[in-house]
Amino acid sequence: MNVLQKALDKITEQMTISDEQIEKIAENFRREMVKGLAGGKSSLKMLPSFITTPAGTESGTFLALDFGGTNIRVLLVDLLQDGNFIVREQRIKQLKDEQGQYDYLYSRVSGEVLFDFIADHIAGIAGPESAYSLGHTFSFACAQTAINKATLLHWGKEINVTGVKGVDINTLLTEALVRRGLPAVKPQAITNDTVGTLLTAAYGDPYADIGSICGTGHNTAYLETQMPEWPPMIINMESGFFDAMETTCYDDELDRASEQPGTMRLEKMVAGCYLGTLLRIITRHLLPEGLFAACRQAAEEILEQQGSISSQDISLLLGDRNADLAEVAGWLEKKLKLTVSSQEDRLAMVKVAGVIAVRSARLVGATYIGILKHIDPRLEQNHTIAIDGSLYEKLPGYAKEIRRVIDGVLQEKAKQVQVRLSKDGSGVGAAIAAAIAVKRQT
């Protein structure tokens, strides 16, 4: 066995999580849930959403506003009951023009100006005589106090708009709609994309009680029914902050170089925005072990650059079905400037990409098992886990590995747990949230 293979075997051993370890992580996750719900010290935030799952009878036409990144999306949605809906109209607008004509993301922009821009976009669908209830997906950190009240705690790193932090989001939106001449458009609910994913799934599936995002970021929400002082309510866990699991030296290196060292440890091990960085770090550590021996210097320079490898690259590496890994060879030449690569080099890259992806899926699966053990300790009921996001939908083998974890740990009880894709919770889910809010008022 050569030096490179020994190094690969060691990495595989470090990154592999057995079913026994999965059970331990799941139990740690369950305990963190209990502590968080009780208001104790926990890595899970366990934030109340003030909304429950839909009955499936909600119907009508609703506006949905999706504001979760550097663009906004407005939808007009017909809810037709029992999981059926039609997106009648949809408009998307970037908050920053690529040609530099406008930028609603930077610090010189006030909250009033930003929400006036959003109201203008809503006016493209809702005319001055239109009366609509609106659901708002706002996927930034908020303190929520009611189904329609949420105060911004902080923006994501890409947005620096002033005058919004500490202010109720729907108040800003309502005032902007009035200024725009749309007083009959009423923001009724505000939620995040994880809660929206669960709402969308539960609209047509009475067993859906866990919703999750497995994409650029990671988070999970679930329906909590066991708190005597609360009615059944969806809890936004902010599960990316979970930290009760072992890490490797590669995880620790990534964490030290991150914007917030010591926080969001699970997110940094499973989310798409970090998996490429993990691949870059591990690949760099393999260079002294003989990886890319023919062109090491060229690769070394690129592997020192932040952001030089992404989760999309992992998908490409794992998706090559050619015996000679020709697509991997082309990727190495284009991405790492390797004019020459051996089959051993290509196999090594596929191996590392694989262990990173599998570990991500297994860790995520462990958290789902922890939630299931909390809401149904004996697993006596049926459950559906609804997942949205590019990793679950597109990364080769990812969805199957989550299923494999659940089957491996839950054994014969696993048949009671369905796992499925639930797309566009940030859009349709917002409309459903508005419908639930309106129904609550009648």
Residue pLDDT, tens place only, 88-100: 999 999 988 888 7
Q: Cα angle at 389 between 198 and 171, to 5 degrees?
A: 60
- Average predicted confidence (pLDDT) for the chain: 94
Q: Is residue 301 classed as helix, strand or coil in its secondary structure?
A: helix
CA distance 374 to 62: 34
Confidence of residue 318 (pLDDT cuts 50, 70, 90): very high
- The full 3-state SS of 187-205, as one line of letters, equals EEEEECHHHHHHHHHHCCC
Tokens of 310: 């992404």
For the residues of 306-328, what is the DSSP string, one character each?
A: TTSS-HHHHHHHHH---TT-HHH
User: Does residue 366 contact residue 24 with C-beta atoms inside 8 Å?
Assistant: no
CA distance 109 to 124: 22
- Which of these, 205, 231, 235, lies nearest to 222 by C-alpha position? 235
What number is the average pLDDT over the span 59-81?
A: 94
Tokens of 251: 């995880």
Instruction: Map out the domains of the chain with their CATH numbers.
Output: 1-49+205-423 (3.40.367.20), 59-191 (3.30.420.40)
User: Does residue 41 contact residue 244 with C-beta atoms inside 8 Å?
Assistant: no
User: Does residue 210 contact residue 221 with C-beta atoms inside 8 Å?
Assistant: yes
CA distance 56 to 84: 9
pLDDT at 101: 81
pLDDT of 442 over the 80 cut: no
Confidence of residue 317 (pLDDT cuts 50, 70, 90): very high
Tokens of 283: 């690949």
Q: Distance of CA 56 to CAs 85, 89, 134, 281, 423, Å?
A: 11, 22, 18, 47, 17
Provide, rounded to the nearest whole percent, the portion of the chain with pLDDT above 90: 84
Q: Beta-carbon neighbour count of residue 436 at 10 Å? A: 22
Name the least confident of 103-107, 162-166, 362-366.
103-107
pLDDT at 227: 85
Name the least confident of 221-230, 312-321, 324-333, 371-380.
221-230
Task: State residue 219 phi and psi, 5-degree precision.
Answer: -165, 160
Q: Which residues contact 296 (CB under 8 A, 6 or more apart)?
A: 287
pLDDT of 287 over the 90 cut: yes
Tokens of 106: 């930077």
pLDDT at 294: 82
CA distance 41 to 25: 18
pLDDT at 229: 81
What number is the average pLDDT over the span 241-247?
A: 96
pLDDT at 157: 62
CA distance 421 to 401: 14
pLDDT at 362: 99
**Angle formed by the axes of helices 193-202 and 428-441, nearest 10°:** 80
- Which of these, 15, 1, 13, lies nearest to 281 by C-alpha position? 15
The amino acid that residue 438 corresponds to is: V
**Greater confidence, 60 or 130?**
60
pLDDT at 1: 56
Whether pTM exceeds 0.75 = yes
What number is the average pLDDT over the span 254-282?
A: 95
- Which of these, 45, 68, 63, lies nearest to 169 by C-alpha position? 68
pLDDT of 414 over the 70 cut: yes
What number is the average pLDDT over the span 414-436?
A: 95
For the segment 13-36, what is each residue's pLDDT rounded down to a tens digit?
999 999 999 999 999 999 999 999
For the segment 192-243, what is each residue's pLDDT rounded down to a tens digit?
999 999 999 999 999 999 999 999 999 999 999 988 888 899 999 999 999 9
